[in-house]
A and B are shown apart, each in its own frame.
Chain A
C-alpha cells in the first residue's frame, strides 16, 4: 500500500458516510432475503439469549458511528491476529 492504512480507513469511512443516506432512503425497514424467506415460511424465530454490546443503530448518525466502530474493530482484530500468527510462526521456525 502506498499510504498508511489510516488513510484508506478514512476514505472508506467517507464513502460509507456518503452512501448511508441511500440505505435509509431505499432499504431502511425492509427485510433482507433471509428475513423475507423466514416471513414467508411463517417461522417464529426462537430468538437469542445473547445480548450483543452494540447494534447497527436506528438513525443515520448512530449507524455511522457504529459502522465506523465496527470497521475499526475488524481492522484491529484482523491485523493483530495475523501479526500474532506471523510472530508465533517465526518463533517456531527459529
Chain B
C-alpha cells in the first residue's frame, strides 16, 4: 500500500492558519463528545463501540476503485452514527484517525485537526441530522446520511484546500477551480459506495442483533 496509501490530508498541504483553525474548531466539539460519552454511556456498550472502531480502521484501509484510476474508501461516520449515536461516532472516528496519523503516518500531524474536523465532526454531524429526521424508510435515510456525510466532508476538505490557496497566494492548497469540482465529483461517486456498504452492514446487524440497531436509533433521537 505504498502509492495511494496516505488517504487523509498530509502535512505541508494546508496553510498554517487553516490547520490551526482545524484544531481550534474540532477540539472543543470532540472533547464535548468524549465528555458526554463518559457521562452517559452504559458500560455494556463499550466493547461493541471498541469493536466498531476496530472494524472502521480496517475498512478504511480497503480502497475501492471509483473511476479513471481513482479510488475511495469508507469513512464509516454514518455507520457509527446509526449503530452507536453521534457522540460515540465522533469518539470512534477520533481514535481511528489519531491512530492512523500517529502510528501509520496516514494523515499529517499538523493536518490532524482538519482530518478530525472533516471525518470525526462534519461527517457524523451530517449523518445524525439526516438520520434523526427520518421517519419511515430507514434504509433510504441511512443511504442519504452516508452519501451526504461523504459529500459534505469532501466539500469541507475542498473549502480548506481553496482557503489555503487563496490565503497563501498559491503556496499552499489548491485553486478552488480544481479543488471544488474534483473533490465533489469523485466523492459524489464514493458516497454511493459508502451508502451501499453502510445500508448493507446496518441491515445485517439489524437481522442478527436488532437491539444494537434500536439502541443506535434511540441515541440519535436524543
Contacts and interface: CB of A to CB of B under 8 A. Distances in A.
A75 B65 contact: no
B173 interface: yes
Contact of B65 (A30, A53, A79, A81): A30
Which bracket fits the contact residues of A? 35 or more
Contacts of A88: 38
B203 to A, nearest CB: 16
Interface stretch (B20-28, B45-53, B125-133, B137-145): B45-53
B9 interface: yes
Interface in A26-59: 26-38, 40-41, 43, 45-58
B12 A47 contact: yes
Contacts of B51: 1, 5, 8-9, 12, 75
A75 B48 CA distance: 10
A79 B178 contact: no
B106 interface: yes
A32 B70 contact: yes
Interface residues of B, number: 73
Interface in B149-182: 154, 157-158, 161, 172-175, 178-179, 182
A56 B174 contact: no
Contacts of A8: 51
A31 B64 CA distance: 11
B147 to A, nearest CB: 14
B99 A56 contact: no
A20 to B, nearest CB: 7
Interface in B45-73: 46-51, 53-58, 61-66, 69-73
Which residue, B61, B64, B186, has most C-beta atoms of chain A within 10 A?
Answer: B61
B66 A33 contact: yes
Given A67-B58, A70-B99, 9 more contacts: A16-B62, A34-B157, A36-B70, A36-B186, A41-B179, A49-B11, A52-B103, A53-B103, A75-B54
14 contacts: A12-B51, A16-B58, A30-B70, A31-B4, A34-B8, A37-B158, A45-B11, A47-B11, A48-B12, A56-B1, A58-B2, A78-B53, A78-B92, A82-B37
Interface of B: 1-13, 34, 37-39, 41, 43, 46-51, 53-58, 61-66, 69-73, 91-92, 95-96, 99-106, 108-110, 154, 157-158, 161, 172-175, 178-179, 182-183, 186-187, 190, 209
